[in-house]
Amino acid sequence: MPHQTFFNLPDAKRSRVLAALKAEFAAHPYTQGSVDRVTAAAGISKGSFYQYFEDKRDAYAHLVGELMAARLQVAGTPVPQAGLAEVLTAQVHASHDFHARDPLGWAVLCRAFSDDSPVDPTATGAAATLHQWAVAAVTAGQRSGELRDDVEPETAAWLVERVLTGLPQHVMGRFGVTPEAAAADGSAFDRPQIDRVAADAVAMLVRALAPAEP
Amino acid sequence: MPHQTFFNLPDAKRSRVLAALKAEFAAHPYTQGSVDRVTAAAGISKGSFYQYFEDKRDAYAHLVGELMAARLQVAGTPVPQAGLAEVLTAQVHASHDFHARDPLGWAVLCRAFSDDSPVDPTATGAAATLHQWAVAAVTAGQRSGELRDDVEPETAAWLVERVLTGLPQHVMGRFGVTPEAAAADGSAFDRPQIDRVAADAVAMLVRALAPAEP
DNA sequence: GTACAGTGTGACCGATCAGTCATATGACTG
DNA sequence: CAGTCATATGACTGATCGGTCACACTGTAC
């Protein structure tokens, strides 16, 4: 956890530090991220950095935690009563919205899920909630007969999360959008082809979890 | 590409070097892997290392290429005439077999797919073939009516690969098997629970790609 | 004025890293 | 023997890194 000094900071300065952290870990995976570059970008001294944070990991964990919270706020956690297709589509759209709102933050979370991160984003408080929510949603769906019940809820939830979390990177790779470009151009994802990919993925997930036809 | 000197090496020494590389990049992601540790483990001097390889990346790329080739040999590339379920199950079993045969190599490939690798394993010659094979298999299945044709083959192939490549890490995380433990104990994956997870995943993939019931 | 507390600073430390190079070895040639 | 060539070596370079620390600045209390 960051030291109190960090929270005592004037808002402007604190958000400058957060922005610098975000830019750094959007451009580099955790181990490659440099405290020196962060302090230079934030316009603070290295000594100050270590008065704000316990260490590099502490700063990174705080950043990821904040971003996960923001991401979850966009997505909305409560188990909805809608059908699975609607829920999944909403998740995909939430990812899209979050990217449009905070492209750098989105890139950081992408990395946190794929690179070697000292912080397991699925264990970072809010996101553990996300996973439990997914498992709960699947279990509930199974009980109501809306979802097939011949697979373990854990496995089903994993598969859904696995596909959803990989989707952004897949479309980026497939359509040649780099994280930097995506960050610079908020509309880089406004393409019908990309919507098509997302729709296909959702359709396949829905079918994967649908109960067997009698 | 490694220099000729590497291929001139006596078999024993060359495989010592390869084994050291494998152990290093099984234990650390690429950026964390240390040439010093490799040379120490292989019992060669640093100077020799740089007479064998252009640089660290060259050695890593060579290792990954070799492992991908070995992995593909286990899996078997030709488009089989069997149903999708059989093909996918065979892929999962191939992964299992490869792990049993070469746990360290398996860990390296796991990392190459998930960590920040300078070598895109899906572009490393043999593995590009794997992807093309997957796309071809899906396209063929669509044409024959065995697979649903309302989704793009690229997207369907990606989803399948995404799930299959993530499966090992998922079961490792879920059942508390570390890469080191898996490497040390070849039978770490011989558990009925794990078979269950794999079977569930395959079942969901099959359903995801099945044509709509009339 | 002095004293103190909170905060800012950047030179510095020790470690690690990829990569180089002058030198050494030893086998083979004539 | 001398000469040549491929190979082996590890001290060294230059850079980066996370993290520390003695010191400076500022404002408040007395």
Q: How far are the Cα atoms of A46, A48, B24, B153, B208 from residue A55, in angstroms, in the given order?
A: 11, 11, 27, 46, 45
- For chain A, the distance separating the N- and C-terminal CA atoms, rounded to the nearest angstrom, is 53
CA distance A103 to A184: 8
What are the residue ranges of helices labelled H in A82-152?
84-101, 103-114, 126-143
State the angle between helix axes of B11-27 and B103-114 in degrees (0 to 180), rounded to the nearest 10.
Answer: 50
If one counts every other C-beta atom within 10 angstroms of the C-beta of residue B100, the result is 15
Q: Identify whether the C-beta of residue B112 lies closer than 8 Å to the C-beta of residue B120.
A: no
Residue that is written with structure tokens 């610079």 in the block: A184
- Closest CA to C16 C1' — which residue? B34
Nearest CA in chain A to B205: A208
B21 in Cβ contact with B2 (< 8 Å) = no
Q: Which nucleotide is nearest to A51 (CA to C1')?
A: C7
Query: What CA–CA distance (Å, rounded) separates A62 from A59?
Result: 5
Q: Which pair of structure tokens corresponds to residue A17?
A: 């530090």
Distance CA B96, CA B100 (A): 6
Question: Which helix (H) or strand (E) element contains residue B104?
Answer: helix B103-114
Of A41, A51, A47, which Cα lies nearest the Cα of A19?
Answer: A41
Q: Do A109 and A64 meet the contact criterion of CB atoms below 8 Å apart?
A: yes
CA distance A80 to chain B (A): 23
Per-residue pLDDT of chain B (214 residues; tens, 9 = 90+): 999 999 999 999 999 999 999 999 999 989 999 999 999 999 999 999 999 999 999 999 999 999 988 887 766 555 556 667 777 788 788 887 888 788 899 889 888 876 667 776 555 555 556 677 778 888 888 888 888 999 999 999 999 988 988 887 788 778 877 656 666 665 666 678 888 999 999 999 999 999 887 5
pLDDT digits (tens, 9 = 90+) for A137-181: 888 888 888 889 999 999 999 999 889 888 877 887 788 776 556
Across B54-70, b (16+ Cβ under 10 Å) vs e yields: eebebbbbbbbbbbbeb
Q: Which of B88, B162, B165 to mutate to test the interface with A (most CBs of A within 10 A)?
A: B162
- Which residues in A lie closer than 8 A to residue B196 (C-beta atoms)? 152, 155
Q: Rounded to two decimals, what is the model's pTM?
A: 0.83
Mutating which of B158, B169, B195, B197 best tests the A interface, going by the most A Cβ atoms within 10 A?
B158
